Amino acid sequence: MAEVKHPPGSLSSRSIADELALPPGILQVTVVSPQGRVYEDQARWVTVRAWNGQLGIWPRHAEMVAALGAGLLSIGQPDGSMRMFALWGGFLRVGNDKVTILVDRAVAADEVDAAAAKRDLDETLEALRHPRTDEQFEELLEQRRWCESQLRLGDTSPSRSP
């Protein structure tokens, strides 16, 4: 029988219990938008909305590439704090404990313009009542997710807490 070659990061000689017993690792996370670098630092974990669902990324994650949809990006920092961003579109690449996220739009919690996001959401909801095509309907749904993500993110900002 031929020797089985395991992909990088897979369990080749240890059990799952051995893997779980390893000390927690660190991810290097970089987020870039057309306007420039949004975030670059170390992290314990990352969650982000991919085009077809939520992704959770931990150290030693398998290599992957994913298309992103509109939604929240959460980054668990080594000190236990969390950074959050609203994202729209782009791609994510994971490999060798590095997470690179290239996005079309990104907004940090302290940058959210809640009034503008609410106006955009109201306009989008009105347009959703009578979309002209299936493509327009899909675009409007993604626009709605973008607006809702900004509003949720704005609600989590410490500067907006009572």
99 within 8 A of 43, measured Cβ to Cβ: yes
Q: What is the pLDDT of residue 51?
A: 85
In a domain, 132, yes or no: yes
24, 59 Cβ separation under 8 angstroms: yes
* Residues 87 and 147 occupy one common structural domain: no
Q: Where does the pLDDT of residue 159 fall: very low under 50, low under 70, confident under 90, or very high at 90 and above? A: very low
Range of the domain at 49: 24-110
- Give the tens place of pLDDT for each residue, 93-131: 999 999 999 999 999 988 999 999 999 999 999 999 999
Query: Cα(146)–Cα(136) distance, rounded to whole angstroms?
Result: 15
**7 lies in a domain?**
no
Token couple for 128: 């959703």
104 and 127 fall within a common domain = no
* Burial bucket for residue 91 (CB in 10 Å: 0-12, 13-18, 19+): middle
Look at the chain and report how many structural domains it folds into: 2
Whether residue 9 lies inside any domain: the answer is: no
CATH number of the domain encompassing residue 82: 2.60.15.10
Q: How far apart are CA 81 and CA 92, in angstroms?
A: 22
Cα 49 off chain centre by: 5
Q: Which two tokens stand for residue 15?
A: 């059990």
pLDDT tens-digit readout, 131-150: 999 999 999 999 999 999 99
